[in-house]
Amino acid sequence: MTLTQEKTLASRVRPDFTILLQEVNGHRLVYLDNAATSQKPLQVIETLKMYYDQYNSNVHRGVHTLSARATDAYEAAREKVAKFVNAASHQEIIYTRNASEAINLVAYAWGLSTLQRGDEIILSVMEHHSNLVPWQIVAQKTGAVLKFVELTETQEFDMEQFKTLISDKTKLVSVVHVSNTLGCINPVREIAEIAHKYGAKVLVDACQSAPHMAIDVQALDCDWLVASGHKMCAPTGIGFLYGKLEVLRSMPPFLGGGEMIADVFLDHSTYADVPAKFEAGTPAIAEAIALGAAVDYLMSVGMHNIEAYEHELTGYLFEQLRQIPELTLYGPQPKADGSGRAALAAFTAGDVHPHDLSTILDQAGVAIRAGHHCTQPLHRYLKAQSTARASLYFYNTREEIDIFVGSLKEAIEFFGGIFA
């Protein structure tokens, strides 16, 4: 993507994100916390408003006009999500509150009913807590054993170590596609190919990849994939689980209640086919429909355009950050064209606490993250108590990177004067 295309993309999308037009603490807002949550375009916000204004009704349960309209929109959104990740069928898409719930669904429905003492689960040290804690609980309840892939010298997934860990005892490999701290892009297709040779299932956490690049679950050949809507321009409170149809059908229900049943008797029940089997009770109807609108929006921009533009931003971001000697940057360096890693940078600045950096930057209108980013084990592995993190999305600009870097230099200089 050329600089002309970059300007065209920026000018095309930024008017849709009116939240970015405000000032914070007397300065123009520079929002660089997109790995935590993305902003929402007007098209998504209007979709929410339209649902409540024009056809607010429960889905699947009524034959009246409003219920039919709500049901049609709700299921149309499922079709959009299926197309977005290239699922073979809309039945392979399960609505959840978020990716954490989606992983828990697999852990409880599949893990507790399948895993036995001595079975092995392979994770990595870079996993988000949401892809650690559920499997810790499952391991405690079943006697399964957790194993962890560590990092290479460039702080990426150690594929060679993974090959030594996997065996016939391995029943599951659950791994993040893109690390929310290191920014590395893990070779999940190759991981899945190796895991399946041993008969193991594969779950991919796509929270940090689905918003930024084209996802093809059939090409990845994963058994499950999870993502959160709020990171991909959709509202909070909605996410999804993709699962291969035969795998989902083999799993027992996660929650019991309305919608997920076929017939209910006083002493037993039979269950509906997927996806209904895993969607008990009244769902997040408006949020699911708005997720469909977010998918429409991203597809209209073009996932390949988003990825190419973010490569340019990433290259520029790291070019500027490398000029600050006080910084320690985590994760692999981008390639010459900015590709090879995600559009985020986690860093420390000597003795300056990341929370202090974030506070000072906020006074300049710059929003970044500070903390362990729900990756405490990874931070212990890196011997870093916490890090600061700037994360980009396709509505960010080079000018905003310049403002961030300038404010960061001023903050480091300010704290250097204090520590002197």
Residues taking part in catalysis? 374
Q: Return the SS3 of 382.
A: helix
In the numeric block, the tokens 């957790």 are attached to: 146
Q: What does DSSP assign to residue 213?
A: S
Number of H helices, E strands in the chain: 15, 17
* DSSP E strands, 125-197: 145-149, 170-176
Instruction: Name residue 185's beta-bridge partners.
Output: 178
How crowded is residue 399: how many other Cβ atoms within 10 Å of its Cβ?
A: 11
Angle at 26 between CA 23 and CA 28, to 5 degrees: 40
Q: How far is the C-alpha of 144 from the C-alpha of 120, rounded, in Å?
A: 6
Q: Supply the Cα-derived Rg of the chain in whole angstroms.
A: 22
Element (H, E) at 203: strand 201-205
DSSP 285-311: HHHHHHHHHHHHHHHHH-HHHHHHHHH
One-letter amino acid identity for 317? L
| CB 187, CB 157: distance < 8 Å | yes
How crowded is residue 200: how many other Cβ atoms within 10 Å of its Cβ?
A: 24
In the numeric block, the tokens 């690390």 are attached to: 179
In the numeric block, the tokens 């959840």 are attached to: 96
Greatest pairwise CA separation for the chain in angstroms: 75
Asked if the bond preceding 253 is cis, omega within 30° of 0, the reply is: no
Q: Which residues contact 152 (CB under 8 A, 6 or more apart)?
A: 158
Q: How far is the C-alpha of 79 from the C-alpha of 176, rounded, in Å?
A: 24
